[in-house]
Chain A
Amino acid sequence: EVQLVESGGGLVQPGGSLRLSCAASGFTFSSYWMHWVRQAPGKGLVWVSRISSDGSSTTYADSVKGRFTISRDNAKNTLSLQMNSLRAEDTAVYHCASLYSSSWSEYFQHWGQGTLVTVSA
C-alpha cells in the first residue's frame, strides 16, 4: 500500500522557520517527481514546489521562491521542505504528492493527508 506521511508542522511566528518532512512507502520513491501542494483553511489547492526524481531539478511557486527549499533523500525515501521567513499567508495544510507522468498525461497520483503550518504571533 502506498503511503505518504507528512510531519513537522506547527505554530511558528512570522519570520520564523519550519522544516516539513514526508515519509514515503509502498512505491519506488526514487522513480517519481515529488511535489508539495498547500491548502489554506477552507480554501483551494495551491501548488508550492516540485523536485525531480534524482533531486537535480527543483521549481518553486513565485510566492515562495527564495524562502522555501525542497529536497529529497532517496536512500531514506523522504521528501523535505525547508520553509524560512514565514508569513501569515503561508498558513495552510501542506500535502506532499507523487506525480504520475506519461507521454499523454500527468497527475498527482498519491497524496499525504497533510501537516498544518500556522504562522501567527
Chain B
Amino acid sequence: NAGVTQTPKFQVLKTGQSMTLQCAQDMNHEYMSWYRQDPGMGLRLIHYSVGAGITDQGEVPNGYNVSRSTTEDFPLRLLSAAPSQTSVYFCASSLVRGSEQYFGPGTRLTVT
C-alpha cells in the first residue's frame, strides 16, 4: 500500500491564482481530512469528509473548497490564493471517523 499520497510536494503561487492540491489513499478509508500547519504552530482542520459525496467544514474553511467523488481521492482547491494561505498542507485518512489517522507527507505552499 502507498498509504496517503499528496501532490505536489512544493508549489509557489502568485496572489489570485487558483490551484488544486491532490490527495489520494489506497486503504479504502471512509474518513479523509485536510489540515494546514503554519510555522511553529499546531495543525488546524480545514475540511473533512466521512465518505464519498459527503464533506463538511473544519476550523478554518474560508478560501478553500473540497469535493469527494470517490473513496480514494479528496482534492483541496484554493479559489484565489492569498499570502495568508502560505503554509504546509497535510491530508489524512482513517478507516472510520475517530480511528487512527494516517497522514500524507505534506505540500509546502508559498503564495507571493
Chain A partners chain B: no
* Residues of A participating in the B interface, judged by any CB pair closer than 8 Å: none
